[in-house]
Amino acid sequence: MSKWLICAAWPYINAVPHLGTLIGSVLSADVIARYLRLKGEEVVFVSGSDEHGTPIEVEAIKLKISPKELTDKYHQLVKKLFERWNISFDNYSRTENPIHVDFVRRFYLKLYERGYIYEKEIEMPFCSQCQMFLPDRFIEGECPYCHYKGARGDQCDSCGRLLEPTRLINPRCNICGGKPIIKRTKHWFFDLPKLANELYKYVENNEKLPPNARNMSLAMLREGLKPRAITRDNKWGIPAPFPGSEGKTIYVWMEAVLGYITATIEFFNRRGEENRWKEFWLNEDTKSVYFIGKDNIPFHTIIFPALLIASGENYVLPWTVSSTEYLLFRGEKFSKSRRVGIWIDEALELFPVDYWRFSLLINRPENKDFNFTWEAFKESVNSHLNDTIGNFIHRTLTFIYKNFGSKIPKVNNLFEEDEKEVNKVKGMVQKAEKLLDDFKIRESLITIVSIAAEGNRYLNERAPWDLIKTNRDKAAQVMYVAAYIVKVLAVTLYPFIPTSAQKIWNMLGYEGVTRDWGEAYILPKAGQQIKKPKPVFKKISDEDLKNALQKLEEIRQRN
RNA sequence: GCCGGGGUGGCCGAGGGGUCUAAGGCGCCGGACUCAUAAUCCGGUUUUCCGGGGUUCGAGUCCCCGCCCCGGCACCA
């Protein structure tokens, strides 16, 4: 048994997350957390709301409420939503959590004392009206290259070129429209170059890292790292702890990643086991896995490990990261302002949670961006979840229910072809298992679908509806094996669609919950009484889809 | 612009020098079956792998040039 830290990227909580955020971090992580627990591993699964930074501060100003009021509201909401999505967090925390705030301040003070942080004066755009320094992207103006009027201080959305705010024509503050001035300010910098050698060693020796993350990180390290500012002039954030840093806060990114640690601390504190977090974080054998979107790779392969190394406290470095590409919505990027996409609150109003989980997971963008379309959603639910899996389970259970007095039939010895079938299925379970071990979630789920397809093929070939007329024993054998395949599905589907897997498990006559992946290799008990079967899934008709889209419109009108 | 990843049939997608005249799925066509949710199963159907050049006995697979998409580039998170 090993110790595992399953860490899902912290959603930025200026709004409800959309489906892309969900599949990229939290949902993928949930599958692995559930899987590892089934395997008997010791797992702590954490994430939380990332609630500091300029966008939230600005959003709160616009709504005329305090940032804390804003994040309180969203944090509560999102926490509940994740529960409804059946995300099995051990702790879903937040960056306003006092344990986090305190930990971050002490952590950075330590880095300062160890000589990894220095201060420097720089020039920054400042809005006199708003009385605040403006991050580059809060300045708008005309692009000096393509003369697009809405270019931001960091980049022009029209021609894609990188910019600096000073080069914009007619720069203005994105909040009040005023003209920013340039003002000197002091900031604290994290001396990344000092850690370059150790980081290079870490990345190079970490053959567990996926090739894309590894190549990118090594390339960045070869090109050389630059020091990185860790303070901001924001009011909304964790107060910087350095001498003379009053009024400054820690840059969100540099503190939110430490949340993986503080959420673990909080989790064990709540259980009255104050020191147990150390068994995970200060243990070189702990395997920590980070579920992130592709934009997030360098933060988890370079900056986060750098912070951990700099602390000198022997925190366990990321064992690996599992990054996804993006989910697109009908060919476009999700966009809150333009309402392109589906949000995790809306989705739950439209279809059962397991339909969403299944569809998102079987289309998980592991190699390239995946384009969400309603047709693709419908196809995955209808053809794979309902027709292949659902129908196999239903035809098996109803056959047993009707012909064998609702008991899994008794067999003395399996015939050769039935025995062979059992072994074939066991091999497929092994394959699904191996794929999950490598975090190939999508492929693993596809393999499980093919187990159901194999069950269908087997039933057609052995035709127990004929056998039962001539040779009841033979039919019993076939149905016993089919019942085993249903059991396999109940166990292996659990990490992906826990509610439905649970239903299948109970329908097979088991009490309680599926707790052990090993059950997928154990034949069911003959004579076990099954429940009256009911279809676990149902098809989405064109009509259903139409209604859902209409409902979506209504939800959006309401809000 | 620089760095990393990617471009495979109508669509989704495996495959990273020979077993690729390219897996699997969806769709479509035909058949079987009737236990089951008009489901299931079997067979067929389609691409020569973004474009061009090269290396090699042999290239989706390696190299070079170009085009396109995604991400990063350090003050968005």
Asked if residue A484 has pLDDT above 80, the reply is: yes
- Of residues 319 to 378 in chain A, which lie within 7 A of strand B by their beta carbon? 325-326, 333, 363, 365-371, 376
What three-state secondary structure class fits A314?
A: coil
pLDDT tens for A378-433 read: 999 999 999 999 999 999 999 999 999 999 998 888 878 889 999 999 999 999 99
Of A111-120, A164-173, A307-316, A460-469, minimum mean pLDDT range: A164-173
What three-state secondary structure class fits A145?
A: coil
Asked if residue A134 has pLDDT above 90, the reply is: no
Strand B nucleotides within 7 Å of a protein CB:
1-7, 12-15, 24-27, 32-37, 39-42, 69-77
Q: What is the pLDDT of residue A456?
A: 97
Of A144-153, A211-220, A316-325, A513-522, minimum mean pLDDT range: A144-153
CATH class of segment(s) A114-194+206-247: mainly beta
The Cβ of residue A258 has, within 10 Å, a number of other Cβ atoms equal to 22
pLDDT tens for A214-260 read: 989 999 998 889 999 999 998 899 999 999 999 999 999 999 999 99
Q: What is the pLDDT of residue A168?
A: 81
Cα A425 from Cα A261, distance rounded (Å): 40
Mean pLDDT across A170-196: 90
Q: What is the pLDDT of residue A338?
A: 84
Q: What is the pLDDT of residue A242?
A: 96
Asked if residue A195 has pLDDT above 80, the reply is: yes
The Cβ of residue A215 has, within 10 Å, a number of other Cβ atoms equal to 12
Cα→Cα distances A110→A62, A313, A345, Å: 37, 10, 41
What's the pLDDT band for A475 if we cut at 50, 70, 90? very high
What's the pLDDT band for A27 if we cut at 50, 70, 90? very high
What's the pLDDT band for A169 if we cut at 50, 70, 90? confident
Cα→Cα distances A399→A353, A503, A520, Å: 28, 18, 22
pLDDT tens for A137-153 read: 888 888 777 777 778 88
Mean pLDDT across A469-497: 96
Q: What is the pLDDT of residue A494?
A: 97
Residues of chain A with CATH 3.40.50.620: 3-106+250-324
Asked if residue A159 has pLDDT above 80, the reply is: no
Return mean pLDDT, chain A: 93
Cα A49 from Cα A60, distance rounded (Å): 16
Fold of the domain built from segment(s) A3-106+250-324:
Rossmann fold (3.40.50)
Q: What is the value of pTM for the model shown? A: 0.95
- Of residues 128 to 147 in chain A, which lie within 7 A of strand B by their beta carbon? 133, 135-137
Q: What is the pLDDT of residue A166?
A: 80
Kindly report which amino acid residue has its CA closest to the C1' atom of nucleotide B75: A135
Q: Strand B closer than 7 Å to the CB of A67? A: no
Asked if residue A29 has pLDDT above 90, the reply is: yes
Mean pLDDT across A80-99: 98
Q: Strand B closer than 7 Å to the CB of A539? A: yes
Please give the nucleotide, over all strands, whose C1' is closest to the CA of residue A12: B77
Kindly report which amino acid residue has its CA closest to the C1' atom of nucleotide B27: A379
Q: Strand B closer than 7 Å to the CB of A57? A: no
| Domain A350-521 part of CATH 1.10.730.10 | yes
pLDDT tens for A347-389 read: 999 999 999 999 999 999 998 899 999 999 999 999 999 999 9
- Of residues 137 to 196 in chain A, which lie within 7 A of strand B by their beta carbon? 137, 154-155, 160-162, 187, 192
| Per-residue burial over A295-317, b = 16 or more CB atoms within 10 Å of its CB, e = otherwise | ebbebbbbbbbbbbbbbeeebbb
Cα A117 from Cα A109, distance rounded (Å): 9
Q: What is the pLDDT of residue A514?
A: 84
Q: What is the pLDDT of residue A178?
A: 86
Question: Residue A92: beta bridge partners?
Answer: A47
User: What is the value of ipTM here, to two decimals?
Assistant: 0.94
- Please spell the DSSP secondary structure of A272-308, one letter per residue: T-TTTHHHHHT-TT-EEEEEEEGGGHHIIIIIHHHHH
Pairing of strands A287-293, A320-324: parallel
Q: How far is the CA of A212 from the C1' of B4 (A)?
A: 7
Q: Strand B closer than 7 Å to the CB of A380? A: no
The Cβ of residue A281 has, within 10 Å, a number of other Cβ atoms equal to 21
Mean pLDDT across A502-510: 97
Residues of chain A with CATH 2.170.220.10: 114-194+206-247
Mean pLDDT across A96-102: 97
Cα A195 from Cα A114, distance rounded (Å): 12
Q: What is the pLDDT of residue A398?
A: 97
Mean pLDDT across A296-306: 95
